[in-house]
Amino acid sequence: MKLTSLLSLAAGVLCSLSAIGQGTRLLRQPTVSDRSVVFVYADDLWMADRDGGSARRLTTHEGTESLPHFSPDGSMIAFSAQYGGNTDVYVMPATGGEPKRLTWHPGEDAVQGWTPDGASIVFRSGRSGYPTALTKLLKVSFKGGFQEELPMPQAYAGEVSPDGQMAAYQTIGFWDPEWRNYRGGQAQPIWIVDLKTLSLKTTPQTDRERHTDPVWYKNVVYFLSERDYANNVWSFNPKTNELKQVTFHKDFDVKSLDASNDRIVYEQGGYLHLLDPQTGQAKQLVINVQGDFTWATPRWQDVRSGGLLNASLSPTGKRALFEYRGDIFTVPKENGDWRNISHSSGVADRYPTWSPDGQKIAWFSDASGEYQLMVSDQEGLQKPKAISLPSPTFYFRPAWSSDNKHLAYTDTDYNLWVINTETGQPKKIDTERYAHPNRSLNPVWSPDGKWIAYARLLDNQYKAIKVYNIETGASHQLTDGMSDAMSPVWDASGKYLYFLASTNFALNTGWLDMSSYERPVTRGVYMVILAKGEPSPFLPKSDEEEAPKVEKKEATPAKPDDKTKTEPKKDEKPAEAKKEVLVKIDLEGIDQRILALPKVALKEYDEIIAGPEG
């Protein structure tokens, strides 16, 4: 069966609609002259008046254009582009026109700015790099010709001062530039070098914060700093050593900046802001970008099997549930057709899950602007019920309770929540103590729907198995924290809880410390007998001869109507009523009821998958 989905990319459409209000968002990498600003939008260069207004498109090539920089007199624009299948340096008139290619090296050449005389373009390249100095700054004439290295032995981003005497630069890049408030070894100050004497000084760091993207304005260095835990614009005067915070944004980081003779432009929150360094006053520019944006128009697209995410089976396995490009689909096992449950092209729908009774489907959706929990009928014929969640963020791993009344899920901030889908009331039941890339705080419901099992990090960086009771609201730790326990799974009978645990995990508690990579972690499979008095399923057995059983037969007088009755067949067993599962956990002495599964070797197990009873 072939699936085809109607999709639309919302970015361009929403940005065009937003132009009615505060202007188009997602304007990036701005540069400014005495009259205009140029920026990157949808991988093309656009120009607008310095006071805002409608933008004019400067480039249309399918290759990516990036890092535009006005020449000192504002007559030309240097930028990097992928016109020839590689990122190279190009220059074009500020009024528009045919770009001229200036570099031909197979590596990336990323434009950083101009020399003060406007004769050359400064760019970053790894053409002469080596392991401890990956990239350097070079310059090339705007007319073309050979490239010349600047004297710094290593540099990632930077500019030459207006008088040509100094250069301010960022020494290294980052393997994860979006890591907010990073305080590790890659967090470096801005280096300022005298190009004649090669003497150095650096911008002051008080909290090992990152300093990035330096530009010059009247021999003062302006740069980005996370000192106040949001990336803002700061300034440093190399002559007086005066350090000053210039902007005070609290919501979104400043991403990039550039300077002209009298203004500084920077990107923040998807908008461009124009800063007067003399007064310290900045204003947000209202810029409207309008174009054909054919990549954002609705279109039919075949659903690729490799792109299906977050699969979930219906209770009987007759249908499967998938996420694909932000839409939710169900697909039959054999008979019938696929269904689009969410019908929300242009919206990100995530993490679908099927209720145990097969009648409901839940997922997270950002249709309102913030992620909400959506609950729909399995056919997708009714309007889904939207449940607002506290402290909107990203959410993961929704799991239904067996009574179809509750959902448990986690969020970006490592909180574990449970919500009543009928009342819409969420409750936070636990919070991870430490962030870890392998999110282990994943909820698993007991067969009776009254308990949630999960693994949580302890202060010693080992994980412990915990359970939470829906009725009492109490959490209990089942393992002692002397081993790294994870992946709890309930037995279908409700008598046991299985999990993985490692006793050689110690050297791997620092997950970012590569010195432990040579130490493999092995795990065993363990079982908790939850109730007192419940016998171990692994008690020793002995085959013994049993005494024959004597059956007593009693004669029953025949009745006239006995012949009309249907007698059960000899090999037919009477139907047994399905027993209701009730999970009972006796906490007293539970540490003495944890058993290692026999004949299961220690290996590098990652997860346990629940199976049928027994």
Instruction: Convert the pLDDT of each residue in 46-105 to its tens digit.
Output: 999 999 999 999 999 999 999 999 999 999 999 999 998 899 999 999 999 999 999 999
Owner of token pair 């901030």: 413
Check if 20-289 and 303-431 are the same fold: yes
pLDDT tens for 328-384 read: 999 999 999 999 999 888 899 999 999 999 999 999 999 999 999 999 999 888 899
Non-local (6+) Cβ contacts of 132 within 8 A are: 154
Cα separation, 219 vs 222, whole angstroms: 10
DSSP-assigned states of every residue in 127-177 = TT-BTTB--EEEEEETT----EE-S-SS-SEEEE-TTSSEEEEE----S-T
- What digits encode the pLDDT tens for the residues 283-329? 999 999 999 888 778 888 888 888 999 998 899 999 999 999 999 99
End-to-end Cα distance, the chain: 37
Residue 24 CA to residue 414 CA, distance in Å, equals 33
Rounded CA-CA distance 497/490 in Å is: 5
This prediction has a pTM of 0.74
- According to CATH, the topology of domain 303-431 is Neuraminidase (2.120.10)
| Parts of the chain with a pLDDT under 50 | 1, 7-20, 572
Q: What are φ and ψ of residue 341, in 5° steps?
A: -80, -35
Q: Is domain 433-536+581-614 annotated with CATH 3.10.50.40?
A: no
In the chain, what are the domain boundaries? 20-289, 303-431, 433-536+581-614
Rounded to whole angstroms, the Cα distance separating 59 from 115 reads 24
User: 287-288 and 53-54: which strand pairing?
Assistant: parallel
- Output b/e per residue, 73-96; b: 16+ Cβ within 10 A: ebebbbbbbbbeebbbbbbbebee
Going by C-alpha positions, the residue among 187, 198, 192, 239 that lies closest to residue 215 is 192
Which residues, 6+ apart, have CB-to-CB distance to 245 below 8 Å?
Answer: 225, 227, 228, 232, 233, 234
Distance of alpha carbon 372 from alpha carbon 390, whole angstroms: 9
CATH 3.90.1300.10 matches 20-289: no
- The owner of tokens 């923040």 is 268
SS (H, E, C) 49-111: ECCCEECEECCCCCCCEEEEEECCCCCEEEEEECCCCCCEEEEEECCCCCCEECCCCCCCEEE
Q: Please report the pLDDT score of residue 233 as a whole number.
A: 98
Q: Per residue in 156-168, is it b (16+ CB within 10 Å) or e — as a string?
A: bbbbbbbeeebbb
